[in-house]
Amino acid sequence: MQNELSQHDYLALDKQLLWHPYTSMSHPSPQFLVDSAQGCEITLSNGKTLIDGMSSWWSVIHGYNHPVMNQAIQTQLSQFSHVMFGGLTHKPAIHLAKQLIDMTPEPLQRVFFSDSGSVSVEVALKMAIQYWHTQGKADKQFFVTPRSGYHGDTFAAMSVCDPENGMHNLFTGALTQQHFISPPPTGVNSPVDPEYLAEIRHVLTENHHKIAGFIIEPVVQNAGGMRFYNPDYLNHIRSLCDEFDILLIFDEIATGFGRTGKLFATEHSNICPDIMCVGKALTGGYMTLAATLTNDKVALGISENGGVFMHGPTFMANPLACAAANASLSLLDSTDITETVAQLEDWLNQALSPCLSLDPVKDVRCLGAIGVVELHEPINLNDIQPKFVELGVWIRPFGRLIYLMPPYVISQQDVQKLGQAIHTILSQ
């Protein structure tokens, strides 16, 4: 069929048959047919080349078609592509678990693999509830989380996303009603607001007997608004969770593996969560894989009280995905990721700061390999996306945000082109 259909035919079939994420079947957003990708460039079927400013939803940190990543998958493919993880194990999974434990904070010593970031959050929430059940506190079934948070699109994950300003408010009646607090005040260097800590204390004081965990995206609330906040809030939240006997869960799916300038965003603080979720960049964007890490308190607390953890995805610890993840983490280990991302942060600041002078722009902010241009008004995606493509860049805004999360291997020249494209569009 590939030789029989034109680019136009493929796009027509796509429009007829495929339901893309966050778009309508009757009035779909425009789709662009990809022919190949290499490094930081995506080549469309019409021959047009785009500089990738998104790392394919923040996952392709080493760029596309990386020879080390390709070889790792090919080597594993020649041995076996998949075996069930119930009763069987394999070297790629064992090696990956060891790498993750070695690079995350020391208390995190146990790894549970799953298919995607959203499922890793489901796993974390189930772990927390089951832990308290085995401790004789079965009423602890609920969670506290800040508004403006995003943790995935599956049902339990949706329940801890912002219930009003997020994308899941239509499901409110079907979701578990969790306990929401205000979003952390913005500003990485802004002083900690004692009134915000008092709000958290009040919620925990009133409800700690039924709260299993506190879940938060450390330092950066990502899809909920690209909000950066002072890491010291995490230190205070850790203390409050300890005081009120509540498990602390960090969602590092978007922030992990260098994106905020540290290997993990938790490293901006002085503490460690009880449970941590990772995904997205885990495999360098090659395959879907996620992990939920926890400490011995939780893992053994469940297990030594006669409990088995009732979760087992079919493709859990898929060997091809684990091989890709091992290669990706080895690539990270071979570079000074802190220095690399610090340089990228400087480039993003230089590229995006001219946008501050434009009337539509409310704010420009950068942290690590994240650059954000916030507007006063929401963007029409269907209008703006083709304009970016015409300028030779791949940028996918949402809401009032035009943001960049490029691959770490991108050049300063390409970052500048991304910034120039944003400036050009907003100047029109």
Give how many domains the chain has, as a whole number: 2
Q: Residue 27: pLDDT above 90?
A: no
Q: What is the pLDDT of residues 362-386, one digit of tens each?
A: 999 999 999 999 999 999 999 999 9
pLDDT at 3: 62
For residue 12, tell me if it sits in a domain: no
pLDDT at 28: 86
CATH of the domain at 418: 3.90.1150.10
For residue 76, tell me if it sits in a domain: yes
Percent of the chain with pLDDT over 70: 99
Average predicted confidence (pLDDT) for the chain: 96
Q: Is 313 annotated as a binding residue?
A: yes
The verdict on 188 and 285 lying in the same domain is yes
The verdict on 321 and 414 lying in the same domain is no
The verdict on 127 and 232 lying in the same domain is yes
The verdict on 370 and 295 lying in the same domain is no
Reading phi first (left if > 0) and then psi (alpha if -120 to 50, else beta), residue 107 is in: alpha
Q: What is the pLDDT of residues 162-212, one digit of tens each?
A: 988 767 777 888 898 999 999 999 999 999 999 999 999 999 999 999 999
| Strand 34-38 relative to strand 41-44, pairing | antiparallel
Q: Which of 64, 131, 150, 286 is catalytic?
A: 150
| Cα 379 to Cα 397: distance, rounded to the nearest angstrom | 7
The verdict on 230 and 269 lying in the same domain is yes
The 3-state secondary structure of the chain reads: CCCCCCHHHHHHHHHHHCCCCCCCCCCCCCCCCEEEEEECEEEECCCCEEEECCHHHHCCCCCECCHHHHHHHHHHHCCCCCCCCCCCCCHHHHHHHHHHHHHCCCCCCEEEEECCHHHHHHHHHHHHHHHHHHCCCCCCCEEEEECCCCCCCCHHHHHCCCCCCCCCHHHHHHCCCCEEECCCCEECCCCCCHHHHHHHHHHHHHHHHHEEEEEECCCEECCCCCEEECCHHHHHHHHHHHHCCCEEEEECCCCCCCCCCCCCHHHHCCCCCCEEEECHHHHCCCCCCEEEEECHHHHHHHHCCCCCCCCCCCCCCCHHHHHHHHHHHHHHHCCCHHHHHHHHHHHHHHHHHHHHHCCCEEEEEEECCEEEEEECCCCCHHHHHHHHHHCCEECCCECCEEEECCCCCCCHHHHHHHHHHHHHHHHC
Contacts of 401 (CB under 8 A, 6+ apart): 225, 226, 372, 373, 374, 375, 379
Q: Which of 126, 262, 280, 417 is catalytic?
A: 280
pLDDT at 270: 92
pLDDT at 171: 86
For residue 1, tell me if it sits in a domain: no
- The structure tokens listed for 88 are 């069987």
Q: Is 408 a catalytic residue?
A: no
Alpha carbons within 13 angstroms on the beta-carbon side of residue 353 total 6
Q: What is the pLDDT of residues 204-260, one digit of tens each?
A: 999 999 999 999 999 999 999 999 999 999 999 999 999 999 999 999 999 999 999
Q: Which of 15, 22, 346, 383 is catalytic?
A: 22
Q: Is 314 exposed, middle or buried (0-12, 13-18, 19+ CB in 10 A)?
A: exposed
pLDDT at 87: 96
Q: Residue 426: pLDDT above 80?
A: yes
- The structure tokens listed for 203 are 């919620």
Q: Is 296 a catalytic residue?
A: no
pTM: 0.96
For residue 23, tell me if it sits in a domain: no
pLDDT at 164: 80
Q: Is 312 annotated as a binding residue?
A: yes
Q: Which amino acid is at 286?
A: Y
Q: Is 400 annotated as a binding residue?
A: no
CATH of the domain at 287: 3.40.640.10
| Cα 316 to Cα 329: distance, rounded to the nearest angstrom | 19
Decide: 250 and 227 in contact? Cβ < 8 Å. Answer: no
Q: Is 333 annotated as a binding residue?
A: no
The verdict on 233 and 127 lying in the same domain is yes
Q: Is 28 annotated as a binding residue?
A: no
Decide: 254 and 220 in contact? Cβ < 8 Å. Answer: yes
pLDDT at 2: 53
Q: Is 15 annotated as a binding residue?
A: no
Q: Is 262 annotated as a binding residue?
A: no
Torsion sign over Cα 329, 334, 336, 342: negative
Q: Which of 52, 115, 162, 251 is catalytic?
A: 251
Q: Is 150 a catalytic residue?
A: yes
Decide: 44 and 50 in contact? Cβ < 8 Å. Answer: yes
Least confident of 175-179, 189-193, 276-280, 289-293: 175-179
Look at the block and give the residue holding tokens 């260097």: 189
Q: Which amino acid is at 266?
A: T
- Number of other CB atoms surrounding residue 310 within 10 Å: 7
pLDDT at 98: 98
Calculate mean pLDDT across residues 329-353.
Answer: 97
- The structure tokens listed for 407 are 């691959």
Q: What is the pLDDT of residues 61-98, one digit of tens each?
A: 999 999 999 999 999 999 999 999 999 999 999 999 99
pLDDT at 49: 98
| Cross-strand pairs, 365 | 372
The verdict on 326 and 351 lying in the same domain is no
Query: In which domain, by residue range, is 417 found?
Result: 32-65+336-427
The verdict on 183 and 328 lying in the same domain is yes
Decide: 130 and 307 in contact? Cβ < 8 Å. Answer: yes
Q: Is 107 annotated as a binding residue?
A: no
The verdict on 256 and 302 lying in the same domain is yes
Q: Is 233 a catalytic residue?
A: no
Band (305; pLDDT cuts 50, 70, 90):
confident
Calculate mean pLDDT across residues 127-138.
Answer: 96
pLDDT at 74: 98
